[in-house]
Amino acid sequence: MKLPRKNKIKRWIRLVSPLALTVVGVFLSLSIMPADLDSYFFIGASWGLIWCLLTIFANLEEKYDITTIERILWDFWDELKKENLEKDLRYTVWVPIRWGRELLKITDYTPSDKKEAKKKKKQVLNPAKGIIGKCYRTRESWSETILVPPGDKEKFMQIMIEEWGFTEEEAEKLKDDRRAYLAFPVIGANYQILGVFYCDSPKGDKFIDDKLISKINDFIPTLRGYLYPKD
């Protein structure tokens, strides 16, 4: 299956925007402030700091080769498809940011839901919440099935709030047709956790398939090599 590549124009805009904002800011500042040496120094130092912060926070994903990671996720999908293991399955990758205080979803789901991807461009998760957070904290794989009648969003939200620590607002945004969840830690050198490989399914018995679990286990080492952040 062909990899759905990101729009290159949008990627360049994201990379250049901090610098562009700095230039605009300096221009506006020079227009309204006295043109003396101290002012120039203050303006330069202030906007230089702002540019650095914007670059860090706006381009967190650039620490990873997202295009390659998405490609290997689709390669894995093709491998699962050969054995009819891909049905009712989607998966993605989460990585720690801000010294492990948050987790960031760095890829769209495979297969991607364009409507959902557009609505949830960038997702950040508190590691204290959900099966993804539990996997990250414990450095162990976890599988969970929830018993909720189809369409019973109230029951679904109750479980997400009472058992998995989400707020009502957060639970409202979750995809409520999911019934099975699976999270695998991606462990690097010195027992460092590089990320979490997360899967879910509307089928409650999806992750009792030993063949599927074995395939995921075999895939994790491949993924590991791409989750070391770039310098």
Collapse the DSSP code of 196 into the 3-class scheme (helix H, G, I; strand E, B; otherwise coil) and give the result: strand
> Residue 77 is part of a domain; what is its CATH number?
3.30.450.40
Collapse the DSSP code of 197 into the 3-class scheme (helix H, G, I; strand E, B; otherwise coil) and give the result: strand
On whether both 35 and 92 belong to a single domain, the answer is: no
On whether both 92 and 14 belong to a single domain, the answer is: no
pTM of the entire predicted model: 0.74
Q: Which two tokens stand for residue 170?
A: 């957060």
Is residue 230 a part of any domain in this protein?
no
Domain that holds residue 52: 8-58
pLDDT in tens, the chain (231 residues): 343 444 344 445 555 655 666 666 656 555 655 555 555 556 655 666 665 555 555 445 458 899 999 999 999 999 999 999 999 999 999 999 988 999 999 999 999 766 565 555 579 999 999 999 999 999 999 999 999 999 999 999 999 999 999 999 999 999 999 999 999 999 998 899 999 999 999 999 999 999 999 999 999 999 999 998 765
Contact 92, 198 (CB under 8 A): yes
**Core vs surface per residue 189-217: b (16+ CB within 10 A) or e:** eeeebbbbbbbbbebeebbeeeebeeebe
Contact 97, 104 (CB under 8 A): yes
Alpha carbon distance 12, 15 (integer Å): 5
User: Angle at Cα 186 formed by Cα 94 and Cα 92, nearest 5°?
Assistant: 35
Alpha carbon distance 76, 78 (integer Å): 5
Sorted by sequence, the CB contacts under 8 Å of residue 185 that are 6+ apart come out as 135, 136, 138, 139, 140, 141, 193, 195, 196, 197
On whether both 79 and 54 belong to a single domain, the answer is: no
Beginning with the edge strand found earlier in the chain, give each strand of the sheet holding 124-125 in spatial order. Answer: 124-125, 102-105, 90-97, 193-201, 180-187, 142-145
Q: Which two tokens stand for residue 157?
A: 């939200």
Is residue 22 a part of any domain in this protein?
yes
On whether both 32 and 137 belong to a single domain, the answer is: no
On whether both 76 and 100 belong to a single domain, the answer is: yes
Is residue 175 a part of any domain in this protein?
yes
On whether both 170 and 192 belong to a single domain, the answer is: yes
Instruction: Give the number of domains in the chain.
Output: 2
Is residue 148 a part of any domain in this protein?
yes
On whether both 84 and 13 belong to a single domain, the answer is: no
